[in-house]
Copies of this chain bind each other. A is one copy, B any other.
Amino acid sequence: MKEKILQLLYDAEAYISGEEMSHTLGVSRTAIWKVINQLKSQGYEIESVTRKGYKLINAPDLLNKEELHYDLHTDFIGQEIHTYETLGSTNQEAKKLALEGLRDGTVVIANEQTAGKGRRGRSWVSPPGTGIWMTLLLRPDIQPQHASMVTLVAGLAVCEVIREVTGLEAEIKWPNDIVLNGKKICGLLTEMNSEIDYINFVVIGIGINVNVAEFPDELKGIATSLLLEGGQTYERKVLVKRILERFEKYYKLYLETEDLSHMIDAYQEHCVNIGREVRVSRKNEVLIGTVKKVSDKGELIVIDDKGDERLIHSGEVSVRGIYGYV
């Protein structure tokens, strides 16, 4: 009901009367009036003029179902959205929901995370109201060994949308960060629950520092936000919807071939690793080399100091010039 009234307000050219809304939705004018007041108390600026009706002047940047469903054009990604004021971590909640059987494409999003996680249990700072802290739940019918590429698919979608919405030149740091001027603006954390040859589910956590105004001292050198780089705030809800749409587009292409062949050019265009010196830490060795490209399978192809091509599937990758590797 709130979603429908909000939609009428958004869609109205100018004023829309309480009577018209009451008629369209088949509810009393008192019911309409109650919801309008509710919206106002949530921060919506709604002008009421006698004999003309209501007009939406300004909407707050809320990440609630009503806002996120309005003007979202996807088939299944985000068609079911679970929103929370506060969560420990959106990945944790999404995994719990996945075990309860929630559908492919469900999105979990929180205004604040109190125990946000990066890779290998590292913590991720997620202050309230300033960022996008969300997780996509997916149930792809593909081989588990092809699942790691989904992180690159999500990274590409986030990078492109940040560039389009903000005009800032975001780049992808393979495999799971987005950077801006050499500092981290977004981190991705993909987790999988699988049998040998069957994926039960995948969750992709996406954390984007949108309007974070300040970072703790220990993060200042390596993390930044769209606000700090762009000098203005950005609407989180707009970014979320455009990311879900772009992700769905690339994800469908990826499921067709179970690789990145349909999007590898776009990926490489924005991949900061290409042509740069990288240092790859693995269990038993440290490899230093220059990145030639990213393969259709999502591997990093590195030329080592002997001139040999090396295929990097994973591992900790530092790029010279980024996060203090100089």
Contacts and interface: CB of A to CB of B under 8 A. Distances in A.
Contact of A120 (B151, B175, B189, B195): B195
A139 B283 CA distance: 15
Contact of A197 (B144, B148, B193, B198): B148
Contact of A119 (B145, B151, B198): B198
The copy count of this chain in the complex is 2
Contacts of A315: 197
A58 to B, nearest CB: 41
A9 to B, nearest CB: 43
A261 interface: no
Contacts of A200: 191
A193 B193 contact: yes
A197 B143 contact: no
A123 interface: no
A290 interface: no
Given A144-B148, A144-B192, 7 more contacts: A144-B144, A145-B145, A148-B197, A190-B195, A191-B194, A191-B195, A194-B194
Nearest to A145: B145
Given A193-B193, A195-B189, A313 B148 contact: no
What band does the interface of chain A fall in when counting residues whose beta carbon is under 8 Å from B?
Answer: 20 to 34
Contacts of A189: 195
A292 to B, nearest CB: 20
A287 to B, nearest CB: 15
Contacts of A283: 141
A86 interface: no
6 contacts: A145-B148, A145-B313, A148-B197, A151-B196, A191-B194, A197-B315
A212 to B, nearest CB: 24
A196 B141 contact: no
A195 to B, nearest CB: 6
Interface string A289-320: 00000000000000000000000011100000
A135 interface: no
Interface in A140-182: 141, 143-145, 148, 151, 175-176
